A = this chain, B = another copy of it.
Amino acid sequence: MIDVAVVGAAGYVGIEAVRLVLGHPRLRLVLATSGADAGKPVAEVYPALAGATDLVFEGPSAEKIANVANVALLAVPHTAAIEFAVPLLKAGVTVIDLSADFRLADPAVYEEWYGVEHAAPELLQEAVYGLPELDRSRLSGSRLVACPGCYPTATALAAAPALEAGIATNTRVVVDAKSGVSGAGRSLAPSTHFVAANESVRAYKMGGQHRHTPEMEQTLSMAAGRAISVIFTPHLIPMTRGLLSTVYLDVPSSFTTADAVVLYRERFAGEPFVYVHDAGFTPSTAEVAGSNRAAIGVAVDQRTNILVATCAIDNLGKGAAGQAVQCLNAVLCYPETEGFERPAPIV
């Protein structure tokens, strides 16, 4: 059994990580930290876990974590993740980071988008970007994994096959995405008050303001083997979980929907968490809710020679905590599906 600490465990991503660790046959949850809820039993804050754990949220401390855990899942904001990662790595703790702190290879890009100098740039080269379906070669045995953001995960899965294959020829990619409200976190805000978010949809951070943009550009550029710019518009959708990213890719006039289905299916052949729909079908976020799955649909508009690819994930699952546990499985050389064998609720 591997002893795991979840840091920032009282947020929505953190508690999903807690849940997944509790349900994993080879992981043992030994510590759940929370600044705001320290001292409260986990099951008091989240009664859904009554009976599943007796742990009490503890105040965060790298020393405490290093004393009890082999692995730390960091579900804390950027900059805070660096502050934990540095001492934890020194103490020999494997770090699976869910923040943005180790995702961007270039510290200058980090500084540009996050408005703060990167405090541990020397770790960026070591950090492994944790999107196994794109590249799992460096995960096994890695000490530091940077799990992708929710939007970049869905966008990469939707766009990478066509870019990698050289089928998509554009240098600017439109990414129009839709996220459930849990993506905005547990902190109270006017925009996520029930009355404000319910029965409404809106774009936010419009005009390329969202910080996931450079991460998408990094991933899509790597897939394409050339520089790709992303114009990204996220939208807030009145539902709790789920994220859908719709991308628009220029393709040759001879490229058809049937070709696209074949291309995507071959690219993701054997991937246990990726499902590519038949031509004429589109994925819904409902079909991946509560799971670590990603569902993809593709269609080519032959009038405009544009491939529309859409990928549905659970923002807390494949978009965050699920992916973190999948990566941890890969780090530990377990089957990536370990702990995910049981299907999530269906309707």
Using CB atoms and an 8 Å cutoff, list the residues of chain A in contact with chain B. Answer: 12, 15-16, 19, 22-23, 46-52, 172, 174, 176, 178, 180-182, 186, 188-190, 192-204, 206-209, 229-231, 233, 235, 237-242, 244, 246, 248, 257, 272, 275, 277, 282-291, 293, 295, 297, 299-304, 306, 308, 310, 312, 316, 341-347
Contacts and interface: CB of A to CB of B under 8 A. Distances in A.
Given A241-B347, A290-B344, A304 B235 contact: no
Given A47-B287, A194-B197, A203 B308 contact: yes
Contacts of A310: 202-203, 206, 233
| Across the A-B interface, the 8 shortest Cβ-Cβ residue pairs | A207-B299, A23-B342, A208-B301, A200-B286, A202-B284, A176-B176, A290-B345, A188-B188
Contacts of A297: 203, 206
Contact of A237 (B237, B248, B277, B299): B237
A224 to B, nearest CB: 15
Given A194-B198, A239-B199, A275-B50, A346 B16 contact: yes
A275 B51 contact: yes
Given A240-B195, A347-B15, A231 B275 contact: no
Contacts of A343: 19, 22-23, 48-49, 52
A202 to B, nearest CB: 4
Contacts of A286: 48, 196, 199-200, 202
